Structure formats: C-alpha cells, structure tokens
Amino acid sequence: MARVAFFTERIDDSIGTFAFDLMSGLADQQHDLRVYTSFNEDDELPQTHPRIQLIRPFRKWSWLELGPLVPLLLEQQPEILHFIQPHDRALEGLTNAMSAIPAMAPFLQKPLVVVSLYDFKERDLDSFKTLLSQADAITVTNPNQVRVVEEHLRKKERRRPGEVTVDVVPLPNPPARSEAGAPLSSNLENFIAQGRLLLVPGDVSDHEDIEDIFAFLKQTLIALKDVRVLVAGGWGKIKPADRSRWMRSFDDPAIGSRILFSGTLGPQEQQACLANARTVLAASLSLESVALARWTRSSLNAGVPLILNRRQLALDPLPWRDRENAFIVEGGPLNWGATIAEALLDDSADRTVRSKLIDFTRMETFDVPSNAMSRIYARLLAKRAH
C-alpha cells in the first residue's frame, strides 16, 4: 500500500468533505495516510479515522510555515504527495505553501504528485499553474472536466499527452436517506410542504444561460399555479447587481411567494428537500460543475425524477432514457416548458419514471472513489518501478 501525504486547505466545507470521504476509503484499504490541513479554532472536524493522522500546521498557507512540515515529511517519506484543490487563495509563484511543497520533492526521494480538482471552470485553471505543471496525475469528477484539463495542459502548460494522466474519480455516493427526517427551518419546511415542488439544485453560478433560466422559472410560475420552485443553493460567484436585477423578475407577489432561494444546504437538509420534490431540474447545470455529479447521484439515490439535457447524457456513463428513468429536454431553457409541465403535472408519467428508478438504482454499479484512486496510485507506482 502507498504512503501518502495529503494537503487540503479545509476539511469542513463541501470539497473537504468529498476529500475526507476519499481519504477514509483509502485508509480502510490500508494506505498509510497523513493529512496536512489548516488550524482554525472554529473548524468542525470530521469523525476521526484510526488510520488517518490529521496534522494541522497551517494558518495562512504561507511558505514561511513550511519549517515544522519538513521533519514530518522526512519521517514519513511519502511515495505520493496528494493535493486537494485549493480554492481560497491564488497559487501563482511560490508564496503559497501548496505551490512550494512540490519543489521539496528532491529532498523526499522524489515522491509522485497527484492533484485532485473538484469544482472549477476553465478560467480557474491558471490559478493552479504550479501544481498542474508538477503533477504526475490529475483527477477530476466527470468526463467533461477531463477534456477541459487536457486541453489546458496542452495549450498552457505545453505538457505532452501521456506525460500526465487525467482520470475521473467519482464523488462519494450520497448518504442513505434518514428515516427520521432532518430538522429544517420552519420557513423551508412550510415552503416545500405546499404544492408541487420543482427543485433547482446547486448555486446559481453553477448554471448555464442564467438569464434564460430566470425567464423560464418566471414563465413556469405564471403558467403552473400549483408549482413552487426551490433554488437549493446560494448565489455562488454572481455579482450583487445581477442578483438584484434577476430577483426583480419575481416582484409580483403571486409568483414571488412561490420561489425560494434556500442558500447552501447541509446533507440532511438536501435529503429532506429531495424527499418532498416532484422533480429535480438539473438540465441547466454546467458540464464542469461538481453540482451536476453530486445532485444527479443524490436524486437517483432518493428516487426523484431528474430533468437532464442531451449534452449531459453524452458525458454520463449511466444509461438515461427519456420518460423511462428521466425527463430529457432539448435546446435552451425557453424550449423546456412542455417537458417541465409533464414532469410536474402528469401523475402517470411521474409514477412511471419513479417506478423505473427503483430497478435502475438496483442494477447500476457505482465505482467507489477510493477504489478508483487506489488504481491510479498503483499504476503510477508500477510505472515508476519500471
């Protein structure tokens, strides 16, 4: 098994949660892990794992903080340095510790470098320049991200095909549904309990064609009087001026009272909202967004019909079929009205899709993140041995 030194800025946010699930699975497979992360007094730490050493030497992730790290790495002699996507700070140059650490490789018997990216747009990759230039392998969460990273490496980093591998490591399966339910704010609980609920997952900035999406949601609320819309996420990177402009679309109380922007939801809150959803509109989520993979699997696990588009189907290995295990839309948001109305109002169509989802979930096999990562580690170590 491999000796791995993980570096992650946070373990108490969504990316940190995905990463810690991966680390726990690798620890179960007897890999020797040390996790180096931030020391913040207010962090809510995950449940400890007996085979994971959690070390918290960083406050600002400055290269000046590397001193205490050096003897720990020399003691461990890691075979792999594994970096989890940094997202709070720019990483140009060597002023950031996570950028500087790969330069220490010659003192550590030249360990392999793995970089895991979870949620990014193409324009974000320039911020990871130093890490990507040193990586022996890069992991992402879906095939479209593979394409984006490979193209970036070819154009910007001048790295040749085969010099660095880019692989998909899936997100962890969502937790099983809680029979007891999850505590919700009274505002959210009352909202999702009334009318037929259209759940729009992810932060607003995770969606494409945002102008058209808001126009479409307004049309839907005007046309379908019994429907409520829950945007189950925050605004993300949307500017305040754009937020105000789009929110004015819902100034009319007749429709404004039937749409709710929940802000970021925790795992139990997501499950409770899914349990009350008639359908989940994932068709507008960008192909690069980690929200697409996360909410697709969560909806499938909850047995709630999804609305997807053709481009998403081409990148998802699962065999989605229109009106059998999902509702498939064509074109842009302003063309989706008929399909959305059917998904929300046609009880027979809803029952058909939900009944098929039961067998679909049972038959499909989902790769475990730690299995996929173990295969990558083994391949890299075998290649080095030869």
Considering the domain architecture, whether residues 29 and 90 belong to the same structural domain is answered as yes
Q: Classify residue 322 by its DSSP letter.
A: B
Question: Where does the pLDDT of residue 176 fall: very low under 50, low under 70, confident under 90, or very high at 90 and above?
Answer: low
Q: Is residue 181 part of a domain?
A: no
Query: Looking at the chain, how many residues does it have?
Result: 386
Q: Which pLDDT value is given to residue 44?
A: 62
Q: Which tokens in the block code for residue 118?
A: 């979870």
Residue at 253: amino acid letter: P
Whichever domain contains 19, its CATH number is 3.40.50.2000
Q: Is residue 207 part of a domain?
A: yes
Considering the domain architecture, whether residues 85 and 114 belong to the same structural domain is answered as yes
271 backbone φψ class: left, alpha, beta (φ>0; ψ -120 to 50): alpha
Considering the domain architecture, whether residues 302 and 346 belong to the same structural domain is answered as yes
Nearest to 220 by CA among 331, 304, 343: 343
Range of the domain at 45: 3-173+367-385
| CB within 8 Å of 260: residues ≥ 6 apart | 187, 188, 191, 228, 229, 230, 231
Nearest to 223 by CA among 336, 347, 353, 331: 336
> How many Å apart are CA 310 and CA 283, to the nearest integer?
9
Residue at 135: amino acid letter: A
Considering the domain architecture, whether residues 209 and 226 belong to the same structural domain is answered as yes
Mean pLDDT over 234-238 rounds to: 89
Considering the domain architecture, whether residues 216 and 160 belong to the same structural domain is answered as no
Is the pLDDT at 171 greater than 50? The verdict is yes
> How many Å apart are CA 180 and CA 333, to the nearest integer?
36
Percent of the chain with pLDDT over 90: 45
Residue 257 phi/psi, 5° resolution?
Answer: -75, -5
The whole-model pTM stands at 0.74
Q: Range with the lowest mean pLDDT among 147-156, 169-178, 231-240?
A: 169-178
3-state DSSP of 103-164 = HHHHHHCCCEEEEECCCCCHHHHHHHHHHHHHCCEEEECCHHHHHHHHHHHHHHHCCCECCE
Considering the domain architecture, whether residues 161 and 283 belong to the same structural domain is answered as no
> How many Å apart are CA 216 and CA 207, to the nearest integer?
13
Question: Where does the pLDDT of residue 126 fall: very low under 50, low under 70, confident under 90, or very high at 90 and above?
Answer: confident
C-beta neighbour count of 111 within 10 angstroms: 23
Is the pLDDT at 87 greater than 80? The verdict is no
Question: Where does the pLDDT of residue 92 fall: very low under 50, low under 70, confident under 90, or very high at 90 and above?
Answer: very low
Considering the domain architecture, whether residues 239 and 134 belong to the same structural domain is answered as no
**Number of domains the chain contains:** 2
**Which is it for the CA torsion 136, 138, 139, 144, positive or negative?**
negative
Considering the domain architecture, whether residues 129 and 229 belong to the same structural domain is answered as no
> How many Å apart are CA 369 and CA 203, to the nearest integer?
24
Q: Is residue 302 part of a domain?
A: yes
Q: Is residue 180 part of a domain?
A: no
Q: Is residue 127 part of a domain?
A: yes
Nearest to 85 by CA among 127, 122, 51, 123: 127
Q: Is residue 103 part of a domain?
A: yes
Maximum C-alpha span of the chain = 69
Cα Rg, the chain, nearest whole Å: 22
Q: Is residue 105 part of a domain?
A: yes
> How many Å apart are CA 304 and CA 311, to the nearest integer?
21
Considering the domain architecture, whether residues 9 and 96 belong to the same structural domain is answered as yes
Whole-number Cα distances in Å, 241 to 238, 246, 248: 8, 9, 11
Give per-residue pLDDT as tens, 311-348.
888 777 678 899 999 999 999 999 999 999 999 999 99
Q: Which tokens in the block code for residue 371?
A: 């299995």
Half-sphere exposure of 167 (CA within 13 A, CB side): 20
Q: Is residue 152 part of a domain?
A: yes
Q: Where are the beta strands (DSSP E) in the chain?
A: 3-7, 32-38, 52-58, 80-84, 112-116, 137-140, 165-168, 196-201, 227-232, 259-261, 279-281, 306-309, 327-329
| Mean pLDDT, all residues of the chain | 86
Considering the domain architecture, whether residues 381 and 297 belong to the same structural domain is answered as no
Considering the domain architecture, whether residues 104 and 191 belong to the same structural domain is answered as no
Q: Which tokens in the block code for residue 210?
A: 């945002």
Give per-residue pLDDT as tens, 242-292.
999 988 889 999 899 999 999 888 777 888 899 999 999 999 999 878 888
Considering the domain architecture, whether residues 348 and 371 belong to the same structural domain is answered as no
CB 128 within 8 A of CB 86: yes
Nearest to 230 by CA among 238, 221, 222, 239: 221
Q: Which pLDDT value is given to residue 179?
A: 46
